[in-house]
Every structure is written in structure tokens, then in C-alpha cells.
Structure 1
């Protein structure tokens, strides 16, 4: 994306903005309740993104089609699981579990990415990097439990938790698969992903219709959908693809732990929730963990380069 200039070459900034927009998605989901049903959100968000990609990336897609076509099966699986599947399971889980459980389970994505990178690619995880990941994960637990050990000890498994864990596995798998995506421009690649995600969402929409739970958006529902389509679904996904391309899935996955921290801050600012000590503690743990993991990775690369 040449029009973004040097900004498009700064993975840390891209990934922080990605998690910020994903956090906004959590707030938007709360605002959507009663104004639009979950599968309608999933379908419309990807239908809108597909339309946007047709307008701005059709030329790149046509030029890159010969390179994409041999990988169409794997790209389709990435879109089905990482986009439509994750979104659908996320919204379904919200009806069967608590925000506490969802926060904890979503925070497991980086750990799943690390394990997947180790088993699939033989990626080495050093002790220092592992400590950094544990710190960020601890920050997620602090946010999700509101700083209460008693809350954590009283957790129980329910169907919603199982759905959220499957969703986390889906997105971790998508993150790992980005490492071997076709070597084509990001816009062309994302266009195909958006088309597939929109198509896969249609059966999900049909199921919701058959269960008579489908609710088309009100005016507020449309505002929420437009935000979700443009920010978390369009810009954030492109930034995330680029971030993984620049620093790899293992390191990029750590940034997912910022989502519950940013989401908490947005809830305080936009939804009027009260700021508590554990918010500050969680923020320090998450940012500290990312700093440790990133600093060590940077120093290692610098030494290899002869610096």
C-alpha cells in the first residue's frame, strides 16, 4: 500500500493500531445488542469489506490471480476459519458465557500461536521470550478477573467457553498460516479473503434465519456495522497481515494480549465504567511483557547482523 508510505513499514505501530481497532469491536458488539443479530453482523461486515475491496483492489487481484489461484484452497480455509468462523463463534460464545471467561480464553491466542509455531515451523522460543509471553498472559488474567483471585478460582467450563476456545484456535491457526500466504500484494490477498468470508457467512445467516433469531439492523445497528466493517474488519486485518509479514506470527501474536486492556480502557471512556487499580496493573504487565519479548528479539537480530 504505497499511499501509506513509511507507516506501512512499522510493524509495532501497525499491530498496536490493529489491537486498538479490535478492542473497539468489543465495545461495538455491546452497542449492537438489541439492534442487530450476531450472524447478520458477521455477514454484513464481510459483504461491505468485499465491496470495498472490489473498488480499490480489483486491478491488483486480476494481476495477481495466476499466483493466487494455486493457493485458493488454503486461502479459502484461512478466510473460513480465521474470519467467518472466528467471528461467528465469538458472537455465539457471548450468549453462553461471561465476558470474564471470553477475555481469558481470547488471551490464549498468543500461547497457541507460540506452540503452533514450535510444532509446525520449529520456531525456537527462548526463556526470556517465554517470560515476556507469560507476563502478557498474566495481564490478561488480571483484566478478566478484575484483580480477584477468588473470581478465577470459581471459574467453570460451559458450552460458551468451549466455543470461545475453538474460536481462539481458529484465529491462531490463521495467524500461523499467514507465514506461508501467497507472495502477492496484501490488498489482492485480502480481497480474496473478504470474498470467501462473505460467502461462508451466508450459511451462518441462513441458520440464524431458520431459528427465527435473525434481526436486521436498526439505524444504530447500521452505525455499528459500518464501524466494524471499516475498522476491525478492513483496516485492522490489512495491518495485521502486514505486521505478521514483517515480524512473523510468533512475535505478532503477542500483541493480541493488548485487546482486553484496550477494551477495558474504551469501556471506561465510552461506556462509563469505573477505572480500577487492576486496569493499571494489567496494562503494566501486558506492555512490559511485550517490551521484554520484543527487546530480546531485536537484540538477537541485531547481533546476527553483526551489530
Structure 2
């Protein structure tokens, strides 16, 4: 029961990141919000990692090249693309497309790692893709023929593609999860400093901007990670991964509560995406023949652990 509460709150906070991020993009720049999000979250996350996992920091820092690559992909590129997308599309659209991440990751695993999903997994990929296309085109599928998809939708597709590569790379890293996240966040803050200085990305100048940044730092960046990892001590990764579908649901609820319209294509597309994710998770990876003791085992498929799909 406690794990369910933790997972529900974590996904609620992540849903809030879409809604608050969209509001912040009306007056802030993506680089400004990304830099200050990670700069303010870095030290608390490092402290949290020390308290929760007590890592061997020297051993962790031996992985600095991989951690730096992951930081550039997952913290800098993904977050910049996400906030850039939220400046051009709705929070609900962004969350619905992001919900297709597991299917995209499975496709990347097939191409890059030569995984072999079961037929049910392929059915989930196709269903999720149909849902994404419905959301991207607003139900006007002829827009695909004229390539008239809005910039916001293209940016969120780019964002989840980057996150797919991040997930596949992260699966090869043997560093405790909170520690890995904390180091990546700290690296992102340092790497983004010269860009923030060059563009004059100062602290929020107005109260609404300040409250938006405070929410994003305290809840999606700190609260969700703490709650998510506490829940993983009480339940399986597969069970936790199913809760990620609540992000799109919560985003829709918040959108309706704020008086914003929800269209039929969004509802139908969301149902297709979430159904596709469930089928993808159920399909998983096809069983392989046992290998000889002399052969080395390949890294696990990203599609095998829904916990890796968590958004940032």
C-alpha cells in the first residue's frame, strides 16, 4: 500500500512538470529553466544519494565518461528538448507522446541490441505508434502526407528519441540509481554554466517564474526520485513501471481542472498509447536459447525494466 502511494505521488509530480513547464515557457527560455533546475537540485540530490545509498564515490567517478554522456543525453538534451516542445505544444500532447517511450525503446533495442520481442510486443509497438500519430496530427492523418506536423510535436518526438538512447546506455552502467542521477545532474549543471552565462540565463525575474522553478526543483526533480526509489524497495520494477501510465492520466486531469479543452483525438490517442505500452510490457523479449558457460551474457534489454523509463 505504501509503495502504491509513493508511486502515485511520484507520477503526479512528474505530470506537474509538463503543466508547470508549459506555463513557465511563456516567459522563460528552455536553457534558463533547464540550467537552474539542475543547478538547484544538484546538491540536495548528492546529499540524498549519500544518505540513501552511501556510495563509494571513487568507484562511482571511475565511470565519469559514461556518466557525462548520460548527463548530456538525459539531463541536458532531453530536458532542453522537452521544455522547448512545451513552448509550442500542450502539456497533454507532450505527456501522451512521452508515454510511448517504452515502445520506442523496444524498437531501439531491436535495432541496436538485436532484441527479439514476442508478437505481443510488436502489437504493442504498432498500437502505441498509431496513438502517437493520432495525437501528433490531431486526428487529421492527411497531415502526415504534407509533413505539416507542428514544431512542438516534432521536438517532443526528438526528446523521447534522445531518452531512448539514454535508457539503452544507462542499462550498461553499474552505479546505484540515486547516485547516478545525482552525479549526472551535477555534471549537467557544470556543463551548462558557460551556455547560461553566454545567454544571460539569470534567475527568474517574476514571482510566477520563481514559483514554477521552485515546483520543478522540489517536486519532479527531488520528490519524485526519492519517492520512486523508496517504492522500488517495496515492489518490483515491472509493477512500478505500470504506474508511469498515470503521468498522461494526471496531466489530462490537471488540464481539465485548469479549464483547458481536451480533444477526442487526444483521448483516443492516449488510450491507444497506454494500451500499447501495456502490450509492450507484456510482450517483452522473446526467450533465447541457453548459452554456453564460456559465452558472456549480453546486457539486459531496456524493455525488460520499465523502471528505466522514468522521465526527468
Q: Same fold (TM over 0.5)?
A: yes
Counterparts of 1:136-155 in structure 2, within 5 Å, are 136-155=128-147
Question: Which 5+ residue runs of structure 2 have no aligned equivalent?
Answer: 288-312
Relative distance call for 1:280 and 1:106 in structure 2 (3 A) is: closer
Q: For residues 206-231 of structure 1, give each alpha carbon's deviation from its aligned partner in whole angstroms, at most 9, with x where no partner exists.
A: 3422xxx8673411111111111123
1:222 aligns with 2:213: no
1:269 aligns with 2:257: yes
Counterparts of 1:296-307 in structure 2, within 5 Å, are 296-297=283-284
Kept in 1, the 8 Å contact 2:18–2:86? The answer is no
Counterpart Cα distance in 1 of 2:190 and 2:129:
34
Other-structure match for 2:305: none
Counterparts of 1:184-223 in structure 2, within 5 Å, are 184=176, 186-209=177-200, 216-223=204-211
Relative distance call for 1:263 and 1:187 in structure 2 (3 A) is: same
Other-structure match for 2:221: 233
1:75 aligns with 2:67: yes
TM-score normalised by L of structure 1? 0.72
1:285 aligns with 2:269: no
Counterpart Cα distance in 2 of 1:291 and 1:108:
10
Shift of 1:129: 0.9
Other-structure match for 2:299: none
Kept in 1, the 8 Å contact 2:97–2:135? The answer is no
Kept in 1, the 8 Å contact 2:18–2:95? The answer is no
Kept in 2, the 8 Å contact 1:136–1:286? The answer is yes
Q: For residues 183-234 of structure 1, give each alpha carbon's deviation from its aligned partner in whole angstroms, at most 9, with x where no partner exists.
A: 43x222222122112112213313422xxx8673411111111111123223
How many residue pairs get aligned? The number is 282
Q: For residues 240-259 of structure 1, give each alpha carbon's deviation from its aligned partner in whole angstroms, at most 9, with x where no partner exists.
A: 8987x9658xx95x987765
Counterparts of 1:1-307 in structure 2, within 5 Å, are 7=3, 14=7, 19-58=11-50, 63-94=55-86, 98-99=89-90, 106=98, 109-156=101-148, 164-184=156-176, 186-209=177-200, 216-237=204-225, 239=228, 247=237, 262-270=250-258, 272-297=259-284
Counterpart Cα distance in 1 of 2:155 and 2:273:
25
Counterpart Cα distance in 2 of 1:56 and 1:104:
31
TM-score normalised by L of structure 2? 0.71
Kept in 1, the 8 Å contact 2:103–2:125? The answer is yes
Q: Which has the higher helix share?
A: 1
Relative distance call for 1:177 and 1:151 in structure 2 (3 A) is: same
Shift of 1:125: 1.2
Shift of 1:237: 4.8
Shift of 1:71: 1.0
Shift of 1:87: 1.3
Counterpart Cα distance in 2 of 1:145 and 1:128:
26
Counterpart Cα distance in 2 of 1:93 and 1:275:
18
Kept in 1, the 8 Å contact 2:22–2:86? The answer is no
